[in-house]
Structure 1
Amino acid sequence: MDRWKSMESSLGIKTSDEAKGRWIIVLMKITGCYTNTSTVNVNAEENNNDQGPNTQIDENEFYNIFSTPKNRFETYVKAKDLGLWLIILNGDFPPVARNKETQILEVVAFEEQSEDLKKKLAKNNEAKMVLYKVLPKKKYERIYMCKTAKDIWQSLLITHQGNSQVKDNKIDLLGQQYEQFTILKEESIDSGFARFNTIITSLKTLDEGFSSKNYVRKFLRALHPKWRAKVTTIEESKDLSSLALDELIDNLKVHEIVMERDSEIYKGKKEIIKSIALKAKKSFVTPPNWVTAEYGSESVNS
């Protein structure tokens, strides 16, 4: 399992995180190590490569690749072979070689290709296979006519991110969500951060120039007024320009525990006071009618 720990480390994935953990399954399917959604036998994979692994993934896993974790797929391919990613990004390696006499690049017939050139050309198909292995069967029709790995990749990007106009509209919509983002009164820090992280990660995916320097200030401004005292303390004691968002979230979660504990103590005291008041009310004896008639209710109560 060391190989998977290494892969997780390089991709920044934590297996304890269920949402990110699905990515391990996707990447394991890419590499041919996935056999079941609940059981992975690495040794079996190493001993049975000839059988051909089941590399198909469902629609949800496929969508994940071309939404926020697209850069993780890029990282995986680069780690596997940087040349494959360059082929996916820039196009196939051409079947050319430099003429020894003229020093001009010329197309070389298959029969005349050197072993080194054939290996380079084989990378073209290998790059396509990396993409094929993560595609559900339903997506084959869409990319069937694509001749190169670059064509496939561009088709998938347009399908799941849209063309430049659609992409700009998505960025505008996410930008509005970012500016209008607020955390509800009863919402936990974890829940609020999960929503916030979805927005900023989607923005970073669509707009590589999106700046992250104001994340901390934005999250602090989005907190409910009940957090105002804590926000003021953080602003006075921390340098927000260098404060990491993860550090801020940890700080707020600790304070959230303190607030919940104080709230429980307050509720407990309130229940005790109500109980005492109720007992006092029950112990009060209403005077007989003849006493009220003779002395008056005000005199009796006083």
Structure 2
Amino acid sequence: MDLETAQTTATAKLPILKQGEYDMWRLRIEQYFQVQDYALWDVIENGNSFKPAAQTTTNADGTSTSLIPGPVTSEEKVQKKNDVKARSMLLMALPNEHLMTFNQYKDAKTLFAAIQTRLGGHEATKKTQKTLLKQMYENFSTLSTKSLDSIFNRLQKIVSQLAILGENISQEDLNLKILRSLPSEWNTHVVVWRNKPNLDTMSFDDLYNNFKIVEQEVKRTASSSSSSQNMAFVSSPSSTNEVNTAYGVSTANTQVSPASTQVSTASNQVSTANLSDDTFYAFLANQLNGS
């Protein structure tokens, strides 16, 4: 498949309007028409310049007949063709349940205006959406299991939707938000980047690319740390048992009085003076727990 065919295939998919996603669809449909043929978008925005006036003729019997002439010149025919095509494509971009409602609009410009009025939402709805998105932004957080791509994409989506509604986030605030939201394994890199002098002007994409470079390093460090902790946890009981065996301590014969928490080292035949601090505390904890 050559490049031109691939680009045609990529732009051939008409964006369908989904419930509650008018603002995003509005951006996508505009780009779609402009890529397909800018004249189609022009006729949606500005209307068809061919506006024939009705011509009235008087019949022999005294009655009159009104007739709206069709396009005559080549320019008029092109305008009419673009209008019909743009209107048809707009209708195809609507869900089935809306087709009958909007089919009554006979030109692309009035059809698009009707879609915006009906499905674009009024000011109160947009205000509610903006409030919810701002809350999502303020409460944005991540989990250690989330990849860097997932974290950045989630935050970028919220910011983009806020921008569509007229709420713009400053570059510095956005960069600080992502730094505050990264999981704990990123702490070392976060500290470094919080002190960068150009953090307030660095683009979101540049910040992402810089962190993407060290993502594998962070994952390896986190994995190594986790493995070390697991090994320490698994090995600790056997270490205690080795202490008991080395000094002839019989845990079966050790008894702890319910009325007292004192341990008799004499009955265990162990001289604590010969033990290191760490070994002694491990041994003492083992005995008190009745191991």
Question: Is TM (by shorter chain) over 0.5?
Answer: yes
Who is 1:234 aligned against? 193
Which residue in 2 is equivalent to 1:179? Answer: 138
Question: 1:62: which partner in 2?
Answer: 17
Structure 1 residues 269 and 295 mapped into 2: Cα distance closer, same or farther (>3 Å)? closer
Alpha-carbon spacing, 1:301–1:146, altered in 2? closer, same or farther (3 Å):
farther
C-alpha separation in 1, matches of 2:267 and 2:202: 68
- 1:162 is aligned to 2:121: yes
The whole-number CA distance in structure 2 between the counterparts of 1:158 and 1:96 is 27
Q: Give 2:12's match in structure 1, choosing from 28, 43, 62.
A: 28
Q: Give the gaps of 5 or more residues in structure 2.
A: 54-66, 255-263, 273-291
Q: Does 2:79 match 1:95?
A: no
Q: How far is 1:233 from its partner? A: 0.9
Q: How far apart are residue 199 of structure 1 and its match?
A: 0.9
Distance (Å, rounded) in 2 between the aligned partners of 1:241 and 1:280: 52
Report the secondary structure of 1:156's partner residue: helix
Q: CA deviation at 1:130?
A: 1.9
Larger Rg: 2
Which runs of 5 or more structure 1 residues have no equivalent in the other structure? 9-23, 31-56, 98-107
CA distance 1:159–1:111, shift in 2 (3 Å) = closer
Provide Cα deviations, 1:27-58, integer angstroms capped at 9, x if missing partner: 4244xxxxxxxxxxxxxxxxxxxxxxxxxx8x
CA distance in 2, matches of 1:112, 1:280: 95
1:141-197 alpha-carbon deviations (Å, 9 max, x no partner):
231222322232233334443023322322232223223323345543222222212
Which of 159, 166, 171 is the aligned partner of 1:213?
Answer: 171
In structure 2, the residue matched to 1:84 is 40
Bigger mean CA offset, 121-130 vs 152-161: 152-161
Report if the CA contact (8 A) 1:92-1:124 is conserved: yes
Aligned to 1:119: 78
* TM-score of the aligned structures, taking structure 2 as reference length: 0.67
CA contact (8 A) 1:29 1:133 kept: no
> How far apart, CA to CA, are the structure 2 residues paired with 1:85 and 1:112?
20
Task: Name the SS of the counterpart of 1:62 in structure 2.
Answer: coil
> SS state of the match for residue 297, structure 1?
coil
Q: CA deviation at 1:62?
A: 3.3
Tell me if the contact between 2:48 and 2:79 (Cα under 8 Å) persists in the aligned partners. Answer: no
Measured in 1, the distance between the counterparts of 2:197 and 2:6 equals 34
For 2:270, what is the secondary structure of its paired residue? helix
User: What SS is found at the alignment partner of 2:171?
Assistant: coil
CA distance in 1 between counterparts of 2:90 and 2:109 reads 10
Q: CA deviation at 1:213?
A: 3.0
Partner deviation per Cα, 1:235-288 (whole Å, 9 max, x = no partner): 334612332212222333444432321222223333444454433333323546
- Distance of aligned partners of 1:240 and 1:173 in 2 relative to their CA distance in 1, 3 Å threshold: same
* 1:1-302 alignment runs, 5 A limit: 1=1, 2-6=3-7, 24=10, 27-30=11-14, 61-63=16-18, 66-68=22-24, 70-95=26-51, 109-110=68-69, 113-207=72-166, 210=168, 213-214=171-172, 215-224=174-183, 227-237=186-196, 239-283=198-242, 284-285=244-245, 286-287=248-249, 296-297=266-267, 299-302=269-272
Give aligned pairs, total. Answer: 244
Percent identity between the two aligned chains: 22
Counterpart AA for 1:182: S
Over 3 Å counting, the alpha-carbon distance change for 1:279 and 1:213 in structure 2 is closer
Q: Is the 8 A contact 1:93 1:124 kept in 2?
A: no
Q: Name the SS of the counterpart of 2:140 in structure 1.
A: coil
Given the two structures, how large is their TM-score scaled by the length of structure 1?
Answer: 0.65
1:96-133: per-residue Cα shift (whole Å, max 9, x none)?
A: 59xxxxxxxxxx95268323223222222121022123
Q: Is the 8 A contact 1:88 1:153 kept in 2?
A: yes
The separation in 2 between residues aligned to 1:217 and 1:295, in whole angstroms, is 58
Greater helix fraction, Structure 1 or Structure 2 = 1
Cα deviation code 1:73-106 (max 9, x no counterpart): 2122112222221221233334259xxxxxxxxx
Seen in structure 2, the aligned counterparts of structure 1 residues 148 and 213 have a Cα distance that, compared at 3 Å, is farther
Contact 2:52 2:70 in 1 (8 A): no
What is the root-mean-square deviation in Å for CA atoms of aligned residues? 3.6
